[in-house]
Structure 1
Amino acid sequence: MKIKDYAVLVSVIMIVIMMVIPFPPLLLDFLIMMNISLALTIILVAMNTREALQFSIFPSLLLLTTLFRLGLNVSTTRSILTNKTGGQVIETFGSFVVGGSVVIGLLVFLILVIIQFIVITKGSERVAEVAARFTLDAMPGKQMSIDADLNAGMISDRDAKERRQKIEREADFYGAMDGASKFVKGDAIAGIVITLINIIGGLIIGMVVHGMPVGDAATTFTLLSIGDGLVSQIPALLISTATGIVVTRAASDGNLGSDITAQIFAYPKLLYVVGAVIGLLGVATPINPLLTFPIAGLLVYAGWTMQKNLNIAEEAETAAGDEEVEEMKKPESVTSLLQVDPIEFEFGYGLIPLADQKQGGDLLDRVIMIRRQIALEFGIVVPVIRIRDNIQLEPNEYVIKIKGNRVAGGEVLLDQYLAMSSGLEDDSISGIETVEPAFGLPALWVTEEMKDRAELSGYTIVDPPSVVSTHLTEVIKRHAHELLSRQEVKHLLDNVRESSPAVLEELIPNILTIGDVQKVLMRLLKEKVSIRSLDMILESLADNGVRTKDTDVLAEYVRQSLSRQITSQIAVPGEAVKVLTAGARLEKRFAESVQQSDQGSYLALDPETSQTIYQEVLQQVSRLQQSGIQPILLTSPAIRMYLRQFLERYMPELTILSYSELEPEVEVQSVGVINLP
């Protein structure tokens, strides 16, 4: 703990001791002046804060100052009743400040108590209650606004986190102030009661214990009690005022003083009217003109000065506006129009409720979950998804764009559900025929009334937001390689550098460039191989990059090093992996057709052979799909890359593996052979 922490602890302990152990008058004088100084400090800090959270410790500080003041009251009461003195400060307030008059002292004390209790404390308490309630009511809206800005790309994740924390602190602060304002109210009541006890108790003790006459006892103890009340109530009044300032303070760019000056004197011409009224009072009433005329002249002069400054500011603003107009007349800068969003999701006006949180839409929350899912599954950070409505689309239509180009789309009926059959059709289930957009499965749009019957018939029921989010997820997975820019690869490598700097120092730029690494990663993502194990991928590139710079070949080496990961994606524990295998004649033909060039190796097949191979693969894949088996083509490592390049244009979803990419312990069952006649 630091010295400041010990100071606070010692202060709290001293407050407790002060209530139990009698203090000498000199020490009481010091503590009373400390109380006044602390109150002045608090009100000045409250006036100079720009927003309430800059003084977030105020509720706790309010409790401590209240406890300190009450402890001080106990000590001064003990000293007054025991020694007939409360110290020089109390005697000064009881004699000099109120002129030594008991009646004047009582009146001044009552006025201070009334101002504090009825005016300031009551108002502060009510404002604190309303502020706490309104702050809590506004929390959901503020949270949704932050999520909307985050998904729109207007703020970063860090900014969103800071804003959410600020909202939570505001709610905690105003909730605490709602309770802390009760301390101020109780303090005002306690001040009245303590003063009455001092007067009555002092009168009795003065006559009985000290043997003083009634008049002397009444004068002495009443003045001391009033002095004690004043030195207690004045700091209490200052802190009550500070409470009101804090809870009524709206966030602004300046402190209270600058805001008051700027806003009250924002209309200089009104000062002319006020000056005229004050001057008229000196003429039309018996009030001495020597008192009113200087004030009136000062107001008129202030109004004239501020009006002149205001005119200068308006002229400068007009000049700036003219410059802006001239700037607009110049040839327009279209640089900002060249930026293309990596991912865009556009929808017709009928689908606005999907993204409107006020109407219960949760699309923005789903987008956040999609980005997290892709990061965990594929190891890449999906760029911010731009979500906006497009009046050029049909009301229920949506479009997904990658780098400005449409790659997918569909239609959604918000008042219905998507029902997908498990294979057994039920004629009693009626609806609008459609195609599930993510996987191309036949489906029906069914009403709320038909939904339960469809579920009982074995249909899978999906709500419209889930249809859209699933489609968006699959599109991002399918095009993940297009989203991996060099800059994104640089960010991923910087992240690896923190944990595995050695492999990066060896690999880049001595063996490969960032562009080479990008091509390898894109090749992996294109076949839906996760790059989350980036350190392992870089190790493989460092090992094999010294032998070849062909990124396609390097990608094959990386796939072999990720065999356990690739196997886990297709294998089910306890079950054999059913595959199609490439026949010997097919592998031989592919091996013979590989040609070398300066740009690398490529496959050169004649059209007739290409058509024959394609038809054979299509027939075998269709047979497996009809049997409910995921088609996997298994081949030798030597031709896997070329077979993939040959089939990816027509069958991008077909999984093609080499023997080296399967773990030895996995059982493989061949359910077909693809061969040449």
Structure 2
Amino acid sequence: MNALLSLLDRMGLGTPGQMKVLAGPMLIMMILSMMVLPLAPFILDLLFTFNIALSIMILMVSMFAQKPLDFSAFPAVLLFSTLLRLSLNVASTRVVLLEGHNGGDAAGKVIEAFGQFLVGGNFAVGLVVFSILVIINFMVITKGAGRIAEVGARFTLDAMPGKQMAIDADLNAGLIGEDQARERRREVAEESDFFGSMDGASKFVRGDAVAGLVIMVVNIIGGLIIGVGQHGLSMDEAARTYTLLTIGDGLVAQIPSLVISTAAGVMVSRVNTNEDVGQQMIGQLFMSSQVLWLAAGVMGLLGLVPGMPNLVFIFFTVMLGALAWWAGRRERQEGEASAQEQAPAPAAAVQEVSEASWDDVRLVEPLAMEVGHRLIAMVDVRQGGELLSRIKGVRRKYAQDIGFLPPVVHIRDNLELGPNHYVISLKGAEVGRGEAYPGRWLAINPGKVSGKLPGVATTEPAFGLAAVWIEPDTREQAQVYGYTVVDTATVITTHLNHLMSRHASQLLGRSEVSKLLEKLGPQDGGLVEEVVPALVSQGTLQRILHTLLDEEVSIRDLRSILEALAEHAPRTQDPAELTAMVRVALGRAITQYWFGAERVLRVIGLEAQLEQVLMQALGNGNALEPGLADTLMQHAESAVTAQDAQGDPCVLVVGHSLRPLLSRFLRRRFKHLAVLSQAEIPDDRELRVTRMIGGRAA
């Protein structure tokens, strides 16, 4: 024993947790051994009893599972339990044929009990009962469960792309994090694997039923031959002895098989809810008072028919009537509670007109959204609207990406808008509007699609792409054609997030700057006190942050921003020069934002002669001659168009002193063009100029 433990320790299997690794191989070896090695009747009794207990446990787990993945090991358990029953059939057949002539208990007490007690010792009754069990198992339960598993696997596989896109949409909208998205993707993959495995595992049970029938015939014929030919029994005695033993053996295997088949049917036929099968059945069968009253009335009428067992029908009529009365009282109580919650607060019959006060002044909301009447349900949580939760996720993700918490989005209805229209306003002024259709999906054309879709043609509100509002049943066809399909709430929140990013500087007020400094205070309080307001005022800091946000630079790294100001603010107080120094400090993050982890940066460059002309203009007070400005704009447009067509980021890299001038001038027309200085590029990145403004591509 010590030697065995020492060997297990050397194999890394010395602890109970590590011994679980051997559970599967040991079980398979035991099952295979049972098929080859002879077993004593007492061991057969133990194993048959264990098989019955195992089947009951499997059924109970399947009944209490709230979704299929709660019992994801079921296909493997089904395989092992089927192999266990077949190995027991082989072991019991050996004992029956070898020792059956010695009496009914030759193959163990369990087989004798099933052969004598359950069928009354009558082999004809046993054959009928066994045949009925096989028919029920083979033609009803396993066939239905197999079909449901097959259809479930097909629909699960078909729904996988849509589920993956929904997860990506929730992730992009900020409703979930990376860990939650990874967990949901894993659940989708596991669900697909489960139904695929169940589709194949259901064949084990059907094969087991057929094998049980074949084994019974072989045992009866073999028993007659052995009993008469080898042991000198009469034909009647051999038939009675071996048939009863065979029937007992078949029943003791078929009953657990029937139980596990039922468990398989429960697993694949249930609907995913937060309730187990029992709660679903009780909640949906016995909770409607109208259904119960009608059932009680029908049972009562049947109970009045002459010749019927009146007492039994009257008993169930009374039971159903009592349940109907209880369900009706519960429904009335729930209705009264709901009415109390929705009842408006009592108002005075006569209200005295009061003087105007400061309470009547309505301040402009920093960020607001107005919706048409058909979109009201999307913002009403009581009607299942999820737009509010999506917007909360957008604000959370915005705070994580941009670096400050945007204002709360105030939503109200506006009957003057079109029924499907919405308007997004910033500080009382409209900054964007769109159209949305609840219950439909927006199929966005990314540029390469293989077909046209029926629906309402429109334009995607955030990025201006061609799109079509389609019905839900056209969604899969749209994905096959190559469209990007998103739901209505995602369309609105994506538009909102895009506008918030474009106008980020207008959302950053003095209170937000103060809260940013307070948040940094516990970690770098000395740095905050050194810079604000000792070296730069809070107003100057706010102007610097505004300039960074206007050029799509995140302000999450507030520590590096303050450190750069602490270094350069003693020499200058010009916000433009300080912003340039801050950008150099944030150069690695800026480069990461536009190019990711790429080492070679494919950028737009500036022709040397044009750069000299611009440097002269910079010395003349940043004034560009009209002819030079037109030429610069034309060359920039062709370079940006070529860069877009090539699929590279639209980034222009120029000298450090020219960057502010060109950024202000070019970004008025090219919103997606970024202008970086050479000083902002980290040393471990390599520049490769693919397009040249004022010259040819390098």
Query: Which TM bucket (shorter chain)?
Result: 0.5 to 0.7
Give the residue type in structure 2 aligned to 1:270: L
SS of equivalent residue, structure 1 residue 31: helix
- Give me the whole-angstrom Cα distance separating, in 2, the residues matched to 1:235 and 1:487: 70
The yes-or-no answer on 1:65 pairing with 2:81 is: yes
In structure 2, the residue matched to 1:301 is 318
Return the alpha-carbon distance in structure 2 between the equivalents of residues 621 and 280 of structure 1: 100
Q: Distance in 1 between matches of 2:364 and 2:65?
A: 41
Give the corresponding residue for 1:357: none
Residue identity in the other structure for 2:325: K
Partner of 1:188: 209
Q: Which of residues 301, 304, 307 in structure 2 aligns to 1:285? A: 307
Residue of 323, 327, 330 corresponding to 2:340: 323
Sort the Cα spacing of 1:17 and 1:323 in 2 relative to 1 into closer, same or farther, 3 A: same
Asked if the contact 2:115–2:244 (Cα under 8 Å) also holds between the matched residues in 1, the reply is: yes
Structure 1 residues 43 and 278 mapped into 2: Cα distance closer, same or farther (>3 Å)? farther
Would the aligned equivalents of 2:95 and 2:107 in 1 still touch at CA under 8 Å? yes
CA distance in 2, matches of 1:298, 1:438: 67
Q: Which residue of 2 aligns with 1:270?
A: 294
TM-fit CA distance, 1:558 = 1.7
Give the 3 Å change call, closer, same or farther, for CA 190–328 of structure 1 in structure 2. Answer: farther
2:124 pairs with 1:103? yes
Task: Give the counterpart letter for 2:581 in structure 1.
Answer: Y
Contact 1:153 1:385 in 2 (8 A): no
Written as runs of structure 1 = structure 2, the 5 A alignment for 1:308-457 is 308-327=325-344, 405-407=429-431
User: Which of 201-210 and 269-278 deviates more?
Assistant: 269-278
1:239 counterpart letter in structure 2: I
Deviation, structure 1 residue 322:
3.3
Are residues 319 and 256 of structure 1, via their aligned partners in 2, closer, same or farther at CA, if it must alter by over 3 Å? same
Amino acid at match of 1:248: S
Q: Secondary structure at the match of 1:30?
A: helix
Amino acid at match of 2:633: Q
Residue number in structure 1 paired with 2:585: 561
User: Is 1:53–1:169's contact at 8 Å kept on the other side of the alignment?
Assistant: yes
Choose which of 239, 246, 250 in structure 1 pairs with 2:271. Answer: 250
Post-superposition Cα deviations, 1:334-392, rounded to whole Å, max 9, x if no partner, equal: 9xx99979698999x9xxxxxxxxxxxxxxxxxxxx99xx99999999999999x9998
Pair 1:524-2:548 in alignment: yes
CA distance in 1, matches of 2:135, 2:682: 86
Shift of 1:632: 9.4
State the Cα deviation string for residues 535-564 of structure 1 (Å, max 9, x = none): 754653565689999976653432343568
Equivalents in 1 of 2:687, 2:151: separation in Å? 67
Match for residue 15 of structure 1 among 28, 31, 47: 31
Q: Distance in 2 between matches of 1:107 and 1:670?
A: 92
Task: Report what 1:581 is aligned to.
Answer: 615
Letter paired with 1:215:
D
| CA deviation vs aligned residue, 1:185-231 (integer Å, no higher than 9, x gap) | 11100000111111111222223344434333322222111111010
Partner residue, 2:56: 40
On the 8 A contact 2:79/2:204 being kept in 1, the answer is yes
Contact 1:636 1:659 in 2 (8 A): no
Letter of the 2:546 counterpart? M
Decide whether aligned partners of structure 1 residues 618 and 315 sit closer, same or farther in structure 2, where only a CA change above 3 A counts: same
Residue identity over aligned pairs, in percent, reads 42
Amino acid in the other structure paired with 2:333: A
Question: Equivalent residue for 1:621?
Answer: 629
Aligned equivalents of 1:121 and 1:473: distance in 2? Answer: 51
**1:538–1:616 CA distance, 2 compared to 1 (3 A):** closer
Match of 1:201 among 215, 222, 238: 222
Counting matched residue pairs gives 563
User: What TM-score, normalized by structure 1, do the two folds share?
Assistant: 0.64
For the residue of structure 2 that corresponds to 1:86, the secondary structure is: coil
Contact 2:62–2:263 (Cα < 8 Å) also in 1: yes
SS in 1 for 2:271: coil
Q: Secondary structure at the match of 2:215?
A: helix
Cα deviation for residue 121 of structure 1 reads: 2.0
1:259 to 267, 280, 285: 280
1:170 aligns with 191
Work out the CA distance in 1 between the residues paired with 2:503 and 2:618: 34
For 1:320 and 1:286, how far apart are their aligned partners in 2?
Answer: 44
Q: Report the AA paired with residue 13 of structure 1.
A: M
SS class of match (2:344): helix
The alpha-carbon deviation at position 38 of structure 1 amounts to 0.8
Distance (Å, rounded) in 1 between the aligned partners of 2:123 and 2:188: 52
Distance 2:667 2:133 in 1: 88
Residues 159, 298 of structure 1: alpha-carbon distance in 2 compared, 3 angstrom cutoff: farther
Contact 1:121/1:185 (<8 A) preserved: yes
- What do residues 422-445 of structure 1 show as CA deviations (whole Å, max 9, x unaligned)? xxxxxxxxxxxxxxx9999xxxx9
Does the 8 Å CA contact 1:634/1:659 hold for their aligned counterparts?
Answer: yes
- Aligned mates of 1:176, 1:383 — CA distance in 2: 49
Contact 1:511 1:546 in 2 (8 A): no
Distance 1:558 1:140, change over 3 A: closer
1:431 is matched with none
**1:304 and 1:72 mapped to 2: Cα distance?**
49
SS at match of 2:611: strand
Matched residue of 1:327: which SS? Answer: coil
Residue type of the partner of 1:122? K
In 1, the alpha carbon distance for the partners of 2:139 and 2:602 equals 76
Residues in 2 aligned to 1:132 and 1:656: alpha-carbon distance in whole angstroms: 51
Q: Secondary structure at the match of 1:251?
A: coil
Indicate the larger mover: 148-157 or 4-13. Answer: 148-157
Deviation digits for residues 606-653 of structure 1 (CA, Å, limit 9, x no counterpart): xxxxxxx5755656434533565999997879xx98x89998999998
Q: Is the 8 A contact 1:378 1:531 kept in 2?
A: yes
AA of the residue aligned to 2:307: T
Indicate how the Cα distance of structure 1 residues 51 and 464 shifts in structure 2: closer, same or farther if over 3 A, else same: closer
Instruction: Show structure 2 runs of 5+ residues with no match.
Output: 1-16, 101-105, 349-358, 375-393, 436-441, 448-460, 467-482, 486-490, 595-600, 640-651
- Alignment pair present for 1:224 and 2:232: no
On the 8 A contact 1:581/1:670 being kept in 2, the answer is no
2:138 aligned with 1:117? yes
What is the alpha-carbon distance in structure 1 between the residues aligned to residue 320 and residue 112 of structure 2?
46
Give the whole-Å Cα distance in 2 for the aligned partners of 1:308 and 1:42. 37
**Matches of 1:59 and 1:250, distance apart in 2:** 18
Question: Match of 1:78?
Answer: 94
CA distance in 2 between counterparts of 1:226 and 1:666 reads 83
- Cα distance in 2 for partners of 1:15, 1:491 equals 68
Say whether the 8 Å CA contact 1:408–1:475 is kept in structure 2. Answer: yes
- Answer whether contact 2:425 2:431 (CA < 8 A) is retained: yes
- When residues 55 and 625 of structure 1 are mapped into structure 2, their CA distance, relative to the original with a 3 A threshold, is same
Larger-gyration structure (1/2): 1
- State how far apart, in whole Å, the 2-side matches of 1:61 and 1:250 are: 21
Structure 1 match to 2:564: 540
**Offset of residue 280 of structure 1:** 3.0
C-alpha separation between the residues in 1 aligned to 2:135 and 2:654? 90
| Kept after mapping to 2: 8 A contact 1:346/1:390 | yes
- The amino acid of 2:615's aligned partner reads T
| Aligned mates of 1:41, 1:648 — CA distance in 2 | 72
